[in-house]
Chain A
Amino acid sequence: MPQKLMLGNEAAARGAWEAGVRLVSSYPGTPSTEITEYASKYPEIYAEWAANEKVALEVAAGASMGGARALCCMKHVGVNVAADPLYTLSYTGVNGGLVIVAADDPGMHSSQNEQDSRMHARASQVPMLEPSDSEECRLYMKKAFEISEKYDCPVMLRTTTRIAHARSMAQMEDRQEAPVKDYQKNVSKWVMTPAFAKMRHPVVEARMDALSAEDNGLVCLEMRSCEIGVICSGMAYQYVREALPGASILKLGMVNPLPKNAIVDFAGKVRKLCVIEELEPVMEEQIASWGVRVDIGKKDTGRQGELSGRKIRTIFGLDNPEVIESPGMPARPPVLCPGCPHRGVYAVLSKLKCTVTGDIGCYTLGSSAPLSAVDSVLCMGASVGMSQGFDRARKWAGEDSRKLVAVIGDSTFLHSGVTSLLSASYNRANITLIILDNTTTGMTGHQPNPATGFDIHGEPTTRIDLEELCRACKADSVVTVPADDMAKVEAAVRGALSETGVSVIIARKACALLDKKSRKDPLHIQPDICRGCRSCMRLGCPAIAFADGHAVIDPSLCVGCGLCSQTCAFNAIVGRNV
């Protein structure tokens, strides 16, 4: 069989294609994004970026109801957004197979929390599979569709960053077409009124019991020494394999429901039973609830961050490889790129000493020094609602003049800011909302969104006009400014803050990484004119450094955006040839 070195996400997309999937609808989110991007390259698959995860899952649910196999991918926090349809889809079940990928991020490489999607699978009573490498991403995706249709339910596939973004060999099989099934109207299955939902709930429970008892080939028993037996899944399995080569392992490919018989049987064969899992004690608490003694578990591994072979060896009192201590180095957190259109807006907000409710995206980085412009980042779309509530609270505290601004990206605004904006108008809120429109979904790797006018394939499509949309949401004022013109941004912010009601400022300029055409020659700081006042350095541009009493620009990083020259009172910053 042909094989290829594949990213976990690439292999998951391959598995979906091989399973005969017809439709993929998703919202980008690290570390899930590439599944949908890879899927979109197969001509047999219709793929789209939806406005958010809830919409994506509803589109996939509709395709499933219509008889086609459908896939929907999201990061862990995306499941919160899609939870509303998810929990009731568990009751309705499916027609064509329906699989939802939830990509968790232990260690928070690119996320705002460390929630464990297995909790969602348990709470919604949806089966969940968990692969441990790329080949299993492919195989389990196919298995998930099989289970989905056999048991008439959606199935979740859980990955973590180290599975999604790791490459290992995966095989390649042919696509098995899954013909679109008949659709027969069936209100007791698809209309979840209380009367029908009451009829479906027992079906859900019976299905989970049946799945728990069935041998579906997803339990893998590796018997070695009887001294230590480890129950694990996903990435934890890889850590255990490496740290404890002599231990017996019960590797679970299905993490909800747990295969009770296999686990109880395994517990009886080993002297010391260990449950090694990242994040929450999802397996351990269930296993313990059956009266099975767990000797090593969450009290030893902890709930925070990623596991490692080293952590596991330490728990078992084994020797670890000798380590050369790294000398302490200044941290290097991510920063806004040189030429980033958000930088000027943040510099203005910082200068005006605004209180800023922020949102999720590249522009979250405006919270770090020296811009330090953001007061809060909670979840997708939260900037708008939080600004409204904060304004009311501070007025009660006697502050009438606080400069309060909400900032949100274009993609995030369309994901879940629109409803908050119209709610603010409806409730006569007093907010200033800046939409940082960089004409793309930046942080996840430049996916198009409804305001870009392009679809997932880069083909022209209907473009949502942000100005019209905000006016339709009854904002009292909507002004658009070029994001890289700090004087205009400042005038707009001052204007909005002097008004009451709902003011929207759309600060527009394409992402610097995307818009390579508008790159200019690097700028240069004339050392004899520079007074060393460090005004330009307050922008936090990685291309500007300070040496020998004046600022200097690194020509290999500068893209000539000109923002720094707007901050220079002495006109010291000019083009190279001047």
Chain B
Amino acid sequence: MRAGMDNVSIVIVGVGGQGTLLASRILGAFGVNRGTNVKVSEVHGMAQRGGTVVTYIRLGDCAVSPLIEDGCADYILSFELMEAARALHYLKKGGTVITNTQCISPMSVVTGAAAYPEDLPARLKEKADTILVDAYALAEKAGETRAVNLVLLGALCALTQGDAAEWEKAISECVPARSIEVNLKAFELGTQVI
């Protein structure tokens, strides 16, 4: 039984520049619209320059600290395959990983000092309930490769049996007016992968 969105802790991970902050802002707005307690913790500055980025979102009365401790996340929403594996320690036993299958090589892999880990989808599935989403391809299909974040949120909406209208309201409040349409399209494509 996967967690719903009433009392939930979500860790968003990705690579700096992938749009993780927008995803957390949308989830924050989603919580605010519901009148629920919301705590969000973001990373700014140095960590945004192509490094690993971690954002925490907690909705519901149980949220005291804005951080999510090891073993306490209901969901890991990962924008990059390797980052999903790196973030596994956050996951609650019985929690779910939703990850983009896109691979972005860190500098050590680019220079050949390290290799990009193999068989990650299988290794993730072995350790946790894992949903693989080709979010980059779906974002491209929606007409905006930067909309990986909305595809993943769509998958989360479907997984939590959410009311799409409620999500779309939060999205519309957070993205610039001119890009609402493409973002909603990416979101919709995300809801269809579940």
User: Which residues in A have some Cβ–Cβ distance to B below 8 Å?
Assistant: 4-5, 7, 30-31, 33-34, 109-110, 133, 162, 165-169, 235, 238-239, 241-242, 308-310, 320-327, 329-337, 362, 365, 368-370, 443-445, 537, 540, 542, 544-546, 556
Q: Select B92's contact among A321, A337, A556, beta carbons within 8 Å.
A: A321
Contact A542 B110 (CB under 8 A): yes
Contacts of B106 in A (CB 8 A): 330-333
Closest residue to B28 on the A side, CB-wise? Answer: A5
Contact B64 A241 (CB under 8 A): yes
Q: Which 8 A-B pairs have the closest CB atoms?
A: A110-B45, A321-B71, A30-B45, A334-B51, A334-B49, A166-B66, A330-B114, A332-B106
Q: How far is the CA of A324 from the CA of B86 in the complex (A)?
A: 11
Interface size, chain B (Cβ < 8 Å): 58
Q: Select A546's contact among B15, B37, B88, B110, beta carbons within 8 Å.
A: B110
Q: How far is the CA of A289 from the CA of B107 in the complex (A)?
A: 50
Q: Select B49's contact among A323, A326, A336, A537, beta carbons within 8 Å.
A: A336
Contact B38 A109 (CB under 8 A): no
Distance between A314 CB and nearest chain B CB, rounded to angstroms: 11
Interface centre among A333, A362, A370, A540, by most chain B C-beta atoms within 10 angstroms, is A333
Q: How far is the CA of A345 from the CA of B43 in the complex (A)?
A: 29
Closest residue to A330 on the B side, CB-wise? Answer: B114
Q: Select B65's contact among A238, A321, A324, beta carbons within 8 Å.
A: A238
Q: Select B145's contact among A162, A323, A330, A556, beta carbons within 8 Å.
A: A556
- A–B complex contacts, Cβ < 8 Å, 19 sampled: A110-B44, A110-B45, A110-B47, A162-B67, A167-B28, A167-B41, A168-B40, A169-B37, A238-B64, A238-B65, A242-B64, A322-B71, A324-B93, A326-B89, A330-B82, A330-B108, A369-B113, A542-B105, A542-B107
Q: Select A332's contact among B15, B29, B37, B46, beta carbons within 8 Å.
A: B15
Closest residue to A169 on the B side, CB-wise? Answer: B38
Contact A334 B41 (CB under 8 A): no
Contact A335 B47 (CB under 8 A): no
Contact B47 A165 (CB under 8 A): no
Contacts of A33 in B (CB 8 A): 44
Contacts of A320 in B (CB 8 A): 69-71
Other A-B pairs, 11, CB within 8 Å; known A162-B67, A327-B117: A5-B40, A109-B43, A169-B32, A239-B65, A308-B69, A320-B70, A324-B88, A329-B86, A332-B51, A334-B47, A370-B107
Contact A326:B46 (CB < 8 A) given known A168-B39, A331-B106: no
Contacts of A542 in B (CB 8 A): 50, 105, 107, 110
Closest residue to A323 on the B side, CB-wise? Answer: B71
Contact A327 B88 (CB under 8 A): yes
Q: How far is the CA of A162 from the CA of B15 in the complex (A)?
A: 20
Distance between A340 CB and nearest chain B CB, rounded to angstroms: 9
Distance between A151 CB and nearest chain B CB, rounded to angstroms: 32
| Chain A interface SS verdict (over half) | loop
Contact B71 A335 (CB under 8 A): no
Contact B44 A323 (CB under 8 A): no
Contacts of A7 in B (CB 8 A): 42
Please count the residue pairs between chain A and chain B whose beta carbons lie under 8 angstroms apart in the complex: 174
Distance between B103 CB and nearest chain A CB, rounded to angstroms: 10
Q: Select B89's contact among A325, A334, A545, beta carbons within 8 Å.
A: A325
Does B16 sit within 8 A of A, measured CB to CB? yes
Contacts of A165 in B (CB 8 A): 41-44
Contacts of A546 in B (CB 8 A): 110, 112
Contact A167 B87 (CB under 8 A): no
Does B8 sit within 8 A of A, measured CB to CB? no
Does B172 sit within 8 A of A, measured CB to CB? no
Distance between B74 CB and nearest chain A CB, rounded to angstroms: 12
Q: How far is the CA of A239 from the CA of B93 in the complex (A)?
A: 21
Distance between A308 CB and nearest chain B CB, rounded to angstroms: 6
Distance between B146 CB and nearest chain A CB, rounded to angstroms: 9
Q: Which residues in window 83-102 of B have CB below 8 A to A?
A: 83, 85-89, 91-93
Does B180 sit within 8 A of A, measured CB to CB? no
Q: Select A241's contact among B28, B65, B89, beta carbons within 8 Å.
A: B65
Contacts of B45 in A (CB 8 A): 30-31, 109-110, 443-445
Contact A334 B40 (CB under 8 A): no
Distance between B147 CB and nearest chain A CB, rounded to angstroms: 13
Contact A324 B89 (CB under 8 A): yes
Interface centre among B46, B47, B82, B89, by most chain A C-beta atoms within 10 angstroms, is B46
Contact A326:B87 (CB < 8 A) given known A162-B41, A167-B42, A331-B108: yes
Contact A326 B88 (CB under 8 A): yes
Interface centre among A322, A329, A444, by most chain B C-beta atoms within 10 angstroms, is A329
Interface centre among B28, B65, B66, B82, by most chain A C-beta atoms within 10 angstroms, is B65
Contact B109 A370 (CB under 8 A): no
Distance between A430 CB and nearest chain B CB, rounded to angstroms: 33
Q: How far is the CA of A350 from the CA of B11 in the complex (A)?
A: 39
Q: Which residues in window 15-64 of B have CB below 8 A to A?
A: 15-17, 28-29, 31-32, 37-52, 64
Q: Select B82's contact among A30, A329, A444, beta carbons within 8 Å.
A: A329
Q: How far is the CA of A324 from the CA of B126 in the complex (A)?
A: 11
Does B123 sit within 8 A of A, measured CB to CB? yes
Contact B108 A324 (CB under 8 A): no
Distance between B187 CB and nearest chain A CB, rounded to angstroms: 20
Contact B49 A362 (CB under 8 A): yes
Contacts of B117 in A (CB 8 A): 327, 329-330
Contacts of A322 in B (CB 8 A): 71, 93
Contacts of A241 in B (CB 8 A): 64-65
Distance between A20 CB and nearest chain B CB, rounded to angstroms: 28
Contacts of B92 in A (CB 8 A): 321
Q: How far is the CA of A31 from the CA of B38 in the complex (A)?
A: 21
Distance between A558 CB and nearest chain B CB, rounded to angstroms: 13
Distance between B170 CB and nearest chain A CB, rounded to angstroms: 11
